[in-house]
Structure 1
């Protein structure tokens, strides 16, 4: 089965962004999603009303996940999925902290609470085809929090995903390829990096609305080694004259 996965940091809605505030970008974000028509989208920095905007505009998507702050508030690391294509077998979320079940908890000098949202999906037409998705946004300040967080996520994946079920890990990892976080993931024989099939360097995925391409990625898609990677794109397009986010979305086409 062919599947298209996207990871997309939306840039949280900040009024001081002025022309780049969410009200001026929501249609552009939806347009770039529609352009690629992904089955699954790992979203970062989405507030609840931003996610509702996407649901309302695109129509055929629903999402999993909760706000990272106590009381289900704050940014989400949500997973959007096509509701007409998939059943949700199971779902959940845990905090990247020493108290992973406590909403809003944080550890290891993390600047904000950080979470991992996961979903177990089944194709409606082919119920024997199942897979897992894990989506996260690692801390932008604390290297210790990034290292502890990715190890926690990997431990969860290793004990949670059955060996015969494909899985994907999406997210803004706030780490370039030479960082120990990415080296840790590259050391796992069970994982394949979506960038591994690119010719040449991936380039930057964060551009601060500048359109810059120089640098290295911090947004990633990893897949179980059994997944056949077909094509990876970093979409640096403007939509109607401006960028939909300060990050470029990354899109993987694969066969599971």
Structure 2
């Protein structure tokens, strides 16, 4: 029979090993969590561009109306876990739904004289490009709207043969963590006229050019043009970087418009391509990763566009 002293010593050694292993596991877990925090934490801003598809009666008949999609849209957007959402094609009911579904976000860009003139709450060819941002993370230091026309300060104005009035909503944010300020712009260019898109994107580039390089800028939205189109070339010539291409390379190009069909969609003319973008401009701003969000819920897509995300760092 072993002496009690030996047993006590052996028990203490085993117990110390167990305690030591527990401490190691705790430390490892803490380091893992810290690593995750660094990867998607203080220095990283996740931006999502979401064309949510305007609420139309004809979509209701086909099962893709907003009443059938809004909770799908909510779930997919929340899965993105973005700090900032740039939305396009938002009508008044959709704006109210966003305010309700995202109480932790400030939702900027719906009310205006052009919507005040439409008390019937119906869609009259004017849908808004909202910017939503985390109230906990950001402080808004400035904001505004301008219309893509010869009279940019007149709400609902249009020029250059555009099919519908188009505008830009922008906010200037201060990151509460770092104190760094930057601009975010949400845009939707015309879907019919190539000449109108060119004039509109030039107006966007000209307006943004008044800011010095030390003010980083993020431009997100539906450009109704592919990356190889001269419309995107206007922005490249003005110093804007396509976040998706920068992160994934030109060979990784994919389509973003799919008519509620997902990857099964085949256009009648040409090949499918990406028409949704997140562009970056300024010193100290760079993309870490960017991806198209192809999620659906129960076989239903949140929109006829895939959403687009980009993780960016502003140094």
What TM-score do you get using the length of structure 1 for normalisation?
Answer: 0.94
Alignment of 1:100-119 (within 5 A): 100-119=152-171
Deviation at 1:89, TM superposition (A): 0.3
Mapped partners of 1:16, 1:145: distance in 2: 27
Is 1:147 aligned to residue 198 of structure 2? Answer: yes
| 1:36 counterpart residue number | 80
Mapped partners of 1:203, 1:69: distance in 2: 38
**Which structure is larger by alpha-carbon Rg, 1 or 2?**
2
Q: Which has the higher helix share?
A: 2
Q: CA RMSD in A?
A: 1.6
| Kept after mapping to 1: 8 A contact 2:141/2:172 | yes
Deviation at 1:108, TM superposition (A): 0.6
Alignment deviations for residues 29-70 of structure 1 (CA, whole Å, 9 cap, x no partner): 111111111111110001122022122122211211136872
Larger mean Cα displacement after TM superposition, 47-56 or 36-45? 47-56
What TM-score do you get using the length of structure 2 for normalisation?
Answer: 0.77
| 2:299 counterpart residue number | 241
Deviation at 1:177, TM superposition (A): 1.7
Mapped partners of 1:141, 1:67: distance in 2: 26
Gaps of 5+ in 1: none
Alignment of 1:3-42 (within 5 A): 3-18=45-60, 19-42=63-86
Mapped partners of 2:256, 2:169: distance in 1: 21
| 2:102 counterpart residue number | 58
Alignment of 1:113-192 (within 5 A): 113-126=165-178, 128-159=179-210, 161-188=211-238, 190-192=239-241
Mapped partners of 2:85, 2:144: distance in 1: 16
| 1:215 counterpart residue number | 272
Is 1:75 aligned to residue 132 of structure 2? Answer: no
Larger mean Cα displacement after TM superposition, 200-209 or 213-222? 213-222
Mapped partners of 1:218, 1:71: distance in 2: 27
Alignment size in residue pairs:
253
Give SS of 1:25's match. helix
Q: Which has the higher strand share?
A: 1
Gaps of 5+ in 2: 1-42, 119-125, 266-270
| 1:229 counterpart residue number | 287
Deviation at 1:228, TM superposition (A): 1.9
| 2:3 counterpart residue number | none
Alignment deviations for residues 206-242 of structure 1 (CA, whole Å, 9 cap, x no partner): 0000113662100000012531211111011212321
Mapped partners of 1:239, 1:40: distance in 2: 22
